[in-house]
Amino acid sequence: MSLPALDSPQWHSSLRAFAWGARSVGSTVLTLVLFATYIGIGALAHDTHFSLAWAMASTAFVWAGPAQIILITTLGSGATVIQSALAVTVSAIRLFPMVVSVLPMMRTPQTKRRHLILVAHLTAVTLWVECFRFLPQVPRDRRIAFIHGLGCGLISVSLISTTIGYNLAANLSQMFGAAILMLTPLAFLFSTARNCRDISDVVALVLGLVLFPVAALLNSGVDILVSGVTAGTIAYGVHRWRVRA
């Protein structure tokens, strides 16, 4: 699906921009990945004896597959609400840099902080990846409405698949459930590779993949963080060197 030109009259209405964002849900393969992933999460919630309403609420309000898995498994294993909340919060910290990198793409001199609250909530990995593909094609003053539409559309798909997975749980094998949950990191990896625009992006991605097995040997429990920070720092150094050269 192609979006209207930046100077098209179709962008004159925030409601139309919201509708274009919602329609864009059908133009990304990550929608299919989300659908499959949340079938697995719905099945996991069923097998852990949570209600369907609880599973759907976690999808709407947590809106992060890995964090939901942590929430379901920790509560299901007998952890307290506080312990589960701390675990989910630590997991959600990874989204903070994504929010910080996306919000400047939407702000205008007239933007107030309250206008960005829903955007910040909607900014999970899926939306973050697609922001770099869609937003350059959207006028800046309509980007918040567009992202509201895109994010709400993605959550709606996830709510539907959570319901399907919950009701199909009795027929899903554990192996199949684990396999569809693996679709998410693989799809994000390929989408990130597709969105690489600069040599520093490529360096960060390749070094992250190469360094992770080395960091895993440390048995530190923060292997992804160590490899990611190291690769990102080196990639930033490459970028600065190229700017000065």
At 170, is the pLDDT very low, low, confident or very high (cuts 50, 70, 90)? low
One domain for residues 215 and 115? no
**Packed helices 30-47 and 143-168: angle between N→C axes, nearest 10 degrees:** 40
122 inside domain:
yes
Query: Is 12 within 8 Å of 142 (Cβ atoms)?
Result: no
Query: What pLDDT does 187 receive?
Result: 61
Q: What is the pTM of this model?
A: 0.74
The encoded tokens of residue 105 equal 């793409």
One domain for residues 117 and 215? no
One domain for residues 79 and 158? yes
One domain for residues 119 and 237? no
Please give the Cα distance from 95 to 85 (Å, whole number). Answer: 16
Query: What pLDDT does 24 receive?
Result: 92
Collapsed DSSP state (helix, strand, coil) of residue 36:
helix
One domain for residues 112 and 203? no
33 inside domain:
yes
pLDDT for 113-131, tens place per residue?
899 999 999 998 888 888 9
| Contacts with 64 (C-beta within 8 Å, 6 or more apart), sequence order | 91, 92, 95, 124, 125
7 inside domain:
no
One domain for residues 173 and 215? no
CA angle 27/119/89 to nearest 5° reads 110
pLDDT for 2-11, tens place per residue?
888 888 888 9
1 inside domain:
no
Q: Mean pLDDT of all residues in the chain?
A: 84
4 inside domain:
no
Q: Is 70 exceeded by the pLDDT of residue 105?
A: yes
Q: Is 80 exceeded by the pLDDT of residue 173?
A: no
239 inside domain:
yes
Q: Name the domain boundary from 173, 195, 217.
A: 195
Residues, the chain: 245
Q: Name the domain boundary from 195, 210, 237.
A: 195
One domain for residues 239 and 147? no
One domain for residues 208 and 234? yes
Number of domains in the chain: 2
98 inside domain:
yes
One domain for residues 75 and 54? yes
One domain for residues 100 and 152? yes
One domain for residues 66 and 168? yes
CA angle 151/65/42 to nearest 5° reads 100
Distance between start and end Cα atoms, the chain: 39
One domain for residues 41 and 118? yes
Question: With pLDDT > 90 as the criterion, what percentage of the chain qualifies?
Answer: 24
3 inside domain:
no
From the list 87, 146, 91, 155, the residue with the least C-alpha distance to 121 is 155
Domain containing residue 59: 12-195
